[in-house]
């Protein structure tokens, strides 16, 4: 997995000639750890029972989780859940899907968006898994170290860091923190990383910073917060409990986006 060394986008650049690069990295890591701690503690007061509409019902089944997560790419959970349900209804056994014509699978997935690309990714991943294990199963990964699981999953067609992390945490019960568009937006606005940071980089920063037992709940709470409060358009900063630790809240960019009346105090 990628490290944070020499990767652009991690926090603010250090002031030249004042501290060593190593000390600067340690300082940023400590600040990020404290910021994440505050975020976690405040969000857990609001989102008391966070869950995944898409992956919650199929947790502990890594292949189902893999397929459902691929379906969720660039699609909301409602449509993804509908497409997954239709796919499982049509193909109760994943082996049956590999024997089917691509056009039939595309028709089943037509409600999910990008269904041609997703059909290719799903069939490619399932075919690779069958070649590797003799059947369509990811159960052998349950006994593998997390790092080996991640490397294997990201080697499959159509599987990037986010999808692999979803399979790790929901399907295999291993600590991971997938980063979707909502989490990426919230973390950037908070100033934990800068605006140029990529989703895989942010995922690695959180992976290194968040305690294992907090990874899944923080993932779910950040998604909820991104959907309900820290939205892409017209974020509801006036009711956000993270105002005082948010870089975006007092920024010039925010003056045109903000919605609601600021309370005098929000903690």
Active site residues: 162
* Six token digits for residue 50: 């966070």
> Which residues lie below 8 Å from residue 43, measured CB to CB, with a gap of 6+?
218, 221, 222, 224, 225, 241, 242
In degrees rounded to 5, what are phi and psi of residue 159?
-110, 110
Nearest to 171 by CA among 71, 84, 78, 66: 66
Q: How far apart are CA 94 and CA 7, in angstroms?
A: 39
Q: Distance from first CA to last CA of the chain, Å, rounded?
A: 36
Q: Three-state SS for 160?
A: coil
């Amino acid at each position: 997995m990628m490290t944070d060394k020499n990767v652009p986008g991690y926090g603010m650049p250090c002031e030249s000639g004042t501290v060593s690069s190593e000390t600067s990295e340690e300082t940023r890591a400590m600040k990020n750890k404290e910021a994440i701690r505050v975020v976690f503690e405040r969000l857990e007061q609001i989102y008391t029972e966070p869950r995944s509409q898409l992956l919650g019902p199929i947790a502990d089944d890594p292949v189902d989780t893999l397929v459902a997560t691929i379906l969720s790419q660039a699609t909301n959970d409602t449509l993804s859940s509908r497409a997954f349900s239709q796919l499982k209804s049509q193909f109760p056994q994943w082996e049956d899907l590999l024997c089917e014509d691509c056009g039939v699978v595309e028709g089943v997935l037509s409600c999910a968006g990008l269904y041609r690309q997703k059909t290719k990714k799903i069939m490619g991943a399932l075919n690779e898994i069958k070649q590797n294990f003799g059947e369509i199963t990811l159960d052998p990964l349950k006994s593998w170290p997390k790092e080996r699981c991640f490397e294997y999953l990201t080697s499959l067609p159509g599987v990037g860091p986010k999808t692999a992390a979803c399979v790790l945490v929901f399907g295999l019960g291993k600590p991971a923190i997938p980063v979707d568009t909502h989490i990426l937006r919230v973390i950037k606005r908070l100033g934990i990383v800068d605006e140029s940071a990529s989703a895989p980089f942010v995922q690695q920063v959180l992976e290194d910073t968040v305690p294992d037992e907090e990874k899944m709940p923080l993932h779910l709470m950040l998604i909820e917060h991104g959907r309900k409060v820290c939205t892409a358009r017209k974020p509801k900063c006036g009711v956000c409990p993270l105002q005082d630790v948010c870089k975006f809240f007092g920024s010039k960019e925010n003056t045109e986006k903000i919605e609601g009346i600021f309370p005098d105090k929000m903690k």
